[in-house]
């Protein structure tokens, strides 16, 4: 009898501040999965639901898995865990031989950012700052101008679809033209709408992240491409093969990011990013995988100390963390045939 055996270990991440424009600073629940395949290889993946973006709860997804039903998020978890398993089989680290991609600096909560922190980020070599916007547009506008003008950063602004088209236009028009060129892109200004996005794209380059699933990809052609220039790709949440096809077809760039998830998820995203950078160096922009410092330190993130805009290497096979993963008190799901 050949079965796939699933085990899980639930964890809690404690945010240091409000994270994501729609999240409140409450503990976030996820689970690591340990998956053993019939060909006798074992790999690890991360399941980190965002109910704010419509995901089913962690318990719901685990219960469903117990009954043989796989959520879209779990499909990615399993696919990434399989990559981990194949690397572990040969005791190889997934990052081996891959270029390291620089990350942007993430500001989750503009209220909490300090001058000292920005000075440090500059000194450490960050060139891009990702600023979560959409809560207090006036304040964010002031910070954006300050980051460009006084600190010399380039910006990625992420509205998480929370701006109105009017707010967005006001925001952009208040940033003088020379400074606007320092905005690399604006991510998900508002819910996807062909005409509204096309009009917004006259002011600044747009990127699609959470709105990715609302894009009517099949209606676009090489000669009539979508109204954005960048796909923000989260390997934890999107089919990466399909996204890469879209990027090729429509000549889009990609910024690969974590899902603000567990360090195991962070390293999965980083490995995929390195792989894509090696294959398509001109397509891959600075990454957004350096997100674990948004949470209180734990035994995993302790192995990823801040090191400028690059992630530290984690020793071990696959995504690393071998000893910690082996020592976790795993709970078995019913074996699935
Ligand atoms: Mg986003």
Beta bridge partners of 71: none
**Which strand (E) or helix (H) includes residue 180?**
helix 177-180
Q: Which has more confidence, 114 or 273?
A: 273
Which residue, chain included where needed, has tokens 């964010």? 140
The Å distance, Cα 321 to ligand 1 centre, comes to 27
Helix/strand/coil percent split, the chain, to 5: 35, 20, 45
Show the tokens assigned to 52.
């704010």
Where does the pLDDT of residue 252 fall: very low under 50, low under 70, confident under 90, or very high at 90 and above? very high
Q: Please spell the DSSP secondary structure of 197-228, one letter per residue.
A: HHHHTTTS-EEESGGGGGS-GGG--SSS--S-
Catalytic residue among 229, 234, 253, 277: 234
278 included as an active-site residue: no
- The catalytic residue among 132, 229, 253, 277 is 132
Taking the C-alpha atoms of residue 48 and residue 237, their distance in angstroms, rounded to an integer, is 9
Rounded to 10 degrees, the C-alpha dihedral 175/251/232/289 comes to -100
12-21, 149-158, 193-202, 212-221: which range is least confident on average? 12-21
pLDDT at 151: 87
Q: Which of 80, 27, 74, 84 is nearest to 47 (CA)?
A: 74
Asked whether residue 337 carries a pLDDT value surpassing 70, the answer given is no
pLDDT tens readout for residues 233-243: 999 999 999 99
pTM: 0.94
User: Per residue, what are the HEC states of 112-160?
Assistant: CCCHHHHHHHHHHCCCEEEEECCCCHHHHHHHHHHHHHCCCCEEEEECC
Give distance in angstroms: CA of 191 to centre of ligand 1.
Answer: 12
Residue 22 has pLDDT above 60, yes or no: no
Q: How high is the mean pLDDT of the chain? A: 93
Q: How far is the CA of 132 from the centre of ligand 1 (A)?
A: 8
Catalytic annotation present for 132: yes
The band of 280, judged by pLDDT with boundaries at 50, 70 and 90, is very high
* 19 — pLDDT class (breaks 50, 70, 90): low
Instruction: Evaluate if residue 31 carries a pLDDT over 70.
Output: yes
What pLDDT, in 10s, does the model give residues 193-219? 999 999 999 999 999 999 999 999 999
Q: How close is the Cα of 133 to the center of ligand 1, in Å?
A: 10
- pLDDT band (50, 70, 90) for residue 166: very high
C-alpha of residue 128 to centroid of ligand 1, in Å? 15
């Amino acid at each position: 009898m050949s079965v796939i055996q699933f085990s899980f270990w639930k964890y809690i991440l404690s945010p240091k501040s409000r994270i994501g424009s729609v999240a409140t600073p409450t503990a976030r629940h996820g689970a690591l999965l340990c998956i053993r395949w019939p060909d006798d290889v074992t790999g690890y993946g991360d399941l980190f639901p965002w109910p704010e973006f419509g995901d089913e709860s962690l318990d719901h997804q685990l219960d469903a898995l117990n009954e043989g039903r796989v959520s879209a998020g779990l499909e990615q978890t399993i696919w990434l865990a399989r990559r981990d398993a194949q690397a572990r089989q040969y005791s190889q680290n997934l990052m081996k031989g891959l270029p390291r991609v620089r990350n942007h600096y993430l500001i989750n909560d503009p209220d909490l950012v300090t001058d000292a922190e920005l000075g440090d980020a500059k000194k450490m070599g960050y060139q891009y700052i990702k600023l979560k916007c959409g809560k207090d547009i006036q304040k964010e506008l002031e910070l954006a101008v300050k980051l460009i003008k006084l600190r010399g950063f380039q910006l990625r602004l992420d509205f998480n679809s929370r701006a109105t088209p009017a707010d967005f236009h006001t925001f952009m028009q208040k940033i003088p033209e020379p400074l606007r060129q320092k905005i690399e892109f604006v991510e998900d200004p508002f819910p996807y709408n062909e005409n509204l996005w096309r009009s917004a794209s006259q002011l600044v380059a747009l990127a699609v992240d959470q709105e990715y699933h609302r894009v009517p990809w099949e209606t676009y052609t090489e000669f009539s491409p979508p109204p954005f220039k960048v796909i923000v790709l989260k390997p934890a949440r999107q089919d990466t093969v399909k996204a890469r096809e879209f990027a090729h077809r429509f000549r889009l760039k990609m910024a690969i990011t974590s899902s603000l998830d567990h360090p195991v998820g962070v390293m999965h995203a980083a490995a995929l990013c390195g792989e894509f950078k090696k294959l398509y160096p001109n397509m891959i922009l600075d990454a957004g995988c350096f997100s674990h410092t948004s949470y209180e330190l734990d035994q995993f993130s302790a192995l990823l100390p801040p090191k400028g805009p690059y992630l530290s290497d984690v020793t071990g096979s696959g995504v690393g963390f071998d000893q910690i993963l082996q020592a976790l008190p795993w709970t078995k799901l019913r074996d699935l045939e």
